[in-house]
Structures are given as C-alpha cells and as structure tokens.
Structure 1
C-alpha cells in the first residue's frame, strides 16, 4: 500500500515545505494547518502507509521519529515545558496522508482529552 503521497513529493523536493530538520532517515517540517503555536510533522523518508504497516524490519524508523522530536524540543527550548506527539492511524484515527507521520505540537498547555465530542467505543 505504498503509493506516492504529498510527503513523498516533499521528500523529493517536488513541492516546497518549511523544513526544520533532516537526516538520512527522517524529515521534519512545519504543518501548513497548525493546531498549536508550534506544529511540525516528522516523517520517515521511507514510505510506510500506516502504523499497521510497521514491521520489525522498519520499526527503527519509527523510533527515530521520537528521537528527532526530543532533539527538536531541546533545540527549540520547549522540552522542559512539554509538548505533545501524536500519530494517527487510518480514517477513524484521523489519518489523512497515508505515509506515517508524527505530529509534534508545542507552545501552549495541552488539555486532555484532546477532543470533547468523542463517542465511546465498546471493546
């Protein structure tokens, strides 16, 4: 299920993005529709469609997303105040781009639960 997405085009520099971090495996850029004073997306350069597609062979790429989040939080001086990282999965989880990505939000106090109008699901 690895189709080209807008993130692939950003990785390939086919469309612009406000890139704030890049290494061999990871790219981070500011979200174009920020939900907090600071809102970035941290993505693996290798396309993985959803959390359901993470395997033991590619799980190090997901771990690196969190390493990058911690590095950015320290560099941007909000590590001590705190921040939120979120990864959505599939339609009901709020995923709109099918290339896994970590949302990193900071710059304000985050409430919990994040959504007040959620419907309870019986498990």
Structure 2
C-alpha cells in the first residue's frame, strides 16, 4: 500500500534503522543522509519517512510531506554551508532519468560549480 514501508526498499530500511547511513538531519517526517556515491562535495539525500515511488506520487498523496522534503533540503543546504554559494535540489523520476531507488528522494548538491544542463 502507498505510504507503507516496503520490505524490499533500501530507503525504507534506512528509515527503520535496518541499514546504516550517515544521517545528517532527521525530522518527524524526513531523514537526510549523505549519498554513498557523491556527485559534488556536498551531496545529501532527503527522503520522506513514508514510502512513495517518486516525488510526483508523494506530492499527489501527501503534499505536506512533499513540502517537508523541500523545507529540509533548504535546511541541509544551510547546515552544509552551501546556501550562500548556490545548490541544486534534484528529484529523479523513473529509470530513464537516473532514479535507481524507487522511494521519493531529493538530492541536495553543492560545494562546486553546477553547470546546466546537467546531462
């Protein structure tokens, strides 16, 4: 069922503590942790504690939690001290866009110049 933890989901297992991660922030509705394959000096993932396969399905079902993910992304940027120099928040949706874990998540990237378009 949408919103419920999925036993085969890597990020659900991080939320439950069954798989370790380098957590940098937690809120009632989100968890933020360092990406294991960083694409910038600062690369943190912000995920909702509830399971939805992508940002669009999260926003449609639980817009308040989708907003919490974005709010936490801003807090991560401030904590990482990239809010003044610029940072990017990316939601990959679908395998064609590079999504590999089908649990909604935002990438917060900063700490170097980020050219556009990215790819």
Confirm or deny a common fold (TM above 0.5).
Answer: yes
Cα deviation per residue 1:68-114 (whole Å; 9 max; x = unaligned)? 11112222221110100100111112111110000010110100110
Aligned residue for 1:54?
Answer: 58
Structure whose residues are more often helix by fraction: 2
Q: Runs ≥4 in structure 1, deviation > 6 angstroms?
A: none
TM-score of the superposed pair, with normalisation by structure 2? 0.89
The corresponding residue for 2:108 is 104
Encode CA deviations 1:15-38: one digit per residue, 9 max, x unaligned: 110000001100000000000011
TM-score by length of 1: 0.86
**Between Structure 1 and Structure 2, whose CA radius of gyration is higher?**
1
Question: How has the CA–CA distance of structure 1 residues 7 and 23 changed in structure 2, closer, same or farther, with 3 Å as cutoff?
Answer: same
- Tell me the number of residue pairs that the alignment of Structure 1 and Structure 2 aligns: 115
The answer as to 2:28 corresponding to 1:27 is no
Q: Match for residue 88 of structure 1?
A: 92
* CA distance in structure 1 between the partners assigned to 2:76 and 2:10 by the alignment: 23
After superposition, the CA RMSD in angstroms is 1.5
Unaligned runs of 5+ in 1: 116-123
